[in-house]
Chain A
Amino acid sequence: MPNHRRSLANRSNALKSTGPRSVAGKRASSQNSRKHGLNSTPDFESSSEYRALVDLIAEEGFSGFACADIASSLLNYRRVMDAYYDTYASPEPVDEFLRDANMKASNPIFGELLSPSGSEPQDVREIAAFFASMQRQERRKGGPASRRSADTHKLIRYQRNGIARLSRAIRQG
C-alpha cells in the first residue's frame, strides 16, 4: 500500500475509535489536555527548599511573614519560568503529512476506503471536508517557530502574575 494511502487509511480508521477502555488508558487520556500545570495550586510549604529559603531570607532582616511570602513567590516564579522553557523547547510537532497532503487528489482514496464495492458520495464528502478542515487548522498553526511563539505567548499572564507577586513580597517585606 503506498505511504499516502496507508496514512489516510490509518487516520480514517482512527476516527472510528471510541477511546480508551481500560482504567489505565482512561487515567492516561484524562491528562491529554494538560498543558503546563500552572493552574494547579502548588504546595511549596512542605518542601525542604522552601524551609531552607525561608531560613536564608530571614537572615536578611525580613519579618517571618515576609520571608514565607518571598520564598513561596520565588519558588512560584521558578515554576512559571520552567514551564515557559518547557513550552518553548518542545512545541507541538508539525504534522507534515496533513499539512502537505493534496486533499482533492485524496477523494478517490477516501471513496475506496469507506466502501470498497462502491463509494457513497455523502460519506466521502463528509470525511474529505473533515480532513480539509484539519489541514486548514494545521497550516494556520505555521512552522515550529510560529507554534513556539504562540504556545509561549499563552504563558505571559502567569509570568506577569508571578513576578508581580515576588516584587510585591520583597518591597513590602
Chain B
Amino acid sequence: MNHSEKAALDKDNTLIQPAVMPIGVGQGGDSFINEFGGLVTDNGHASDEIVIKMTDVSKWYGDFQVLTKCTAHVHRGDVVVVCGPSGSGKSTLIKTVNGLEPFQEGEILVNGISVGAPKTDLPKLRSKVGMVFQHFELFPHLSIIENLTVAQVKVLKRSDSEAKQKGLAYLDRVGLSAQAKKYPAELSGGQQQRVAIARALSMDPVCMLFDEPTSALDPEMIQEVLDVMVGLAREGMTMMCVTHEMGFASQVASRIIFMDEGHIVENCSKDEFFESARSERAQQFLSKILDH
C-alpha cells in the first residue's frame, strides 16, 4: 500500500493528523457490476479523504466463513448505512473496524493505522473510534455523568473538570442534562441510547460506528435516537451505521453497503442504491423493507 502522506503521530503515538490517502477506486470513475449483479461505485462521498479503508477482509469462525473479501471505503463526512438480511455479517463487519472482532485476511486502515497489525496500539485506536451498541451497554454501576467521564479521564487522561464539562455539554446536546446524576436503570431505552451516543461523542472520535442502535428500542423511542443521529450526520460526522431504518438511510445516508451472507453485494451511493440496485438479493430486500 502506498500512502502519499503518513498519518502524523505525536511522541505518545496519539493521532494528531490523519493520513491523506490516494483514492482507491477513482472518484466518479470506476463503477462496475460485481459477481452478484450488484452495483459498486465510488459516487456520493462527502470528501476525498478516506477515514476507513477495508480491503478484501475475510473472517472465519472455525470453518465457517462469515465475511468474504469485503472491500469498502468510508470518506470523511460520509454517512454509510450497512444493511442486509439477518446473518449477512453486517454487525461482524462493523466490529472488525475497531478490532472488537479479529479477522484473518485482508486489511483495515483507520486514518492510516492498520487495525490488524500486531504492533498497533488497539486501545489507543479505539479511543478515537466511537461505537454505539444495540443494547446500549451503559455501565450500570456508574451514574450517567460518571459513564460519560470515566473513559475520558482514564483513557484520554483528561482532568476531572474538563471531562465533566465535556460530558455535560454532550449530554445537553442529546437533550438529557437533567439526568446527569441518575443511574442507567432509571432511564428508558431511548434515553439510555442517547446517553450511549453522548458517551461515545465525549471521546471526540474521528468517526462513529453504530451497530443496530434502534433495534432494541420500542417504536415510540426510535425517533428520538434517530433525530440525534441525523443531527450528527448533518454536522459532518463520519458515520458507519448498521441499521434496518431505511427511512433514516434515505434521509441522511451518503452511501449504502448492502450485504448478504458475508459478501458485500452493493456498495454505492444512496441514490444509486434506491434507484438502480441491480442484484436480485438487494431488490428482494428492498421490496420487503419498503413495503411497511
A, B assembled together: no
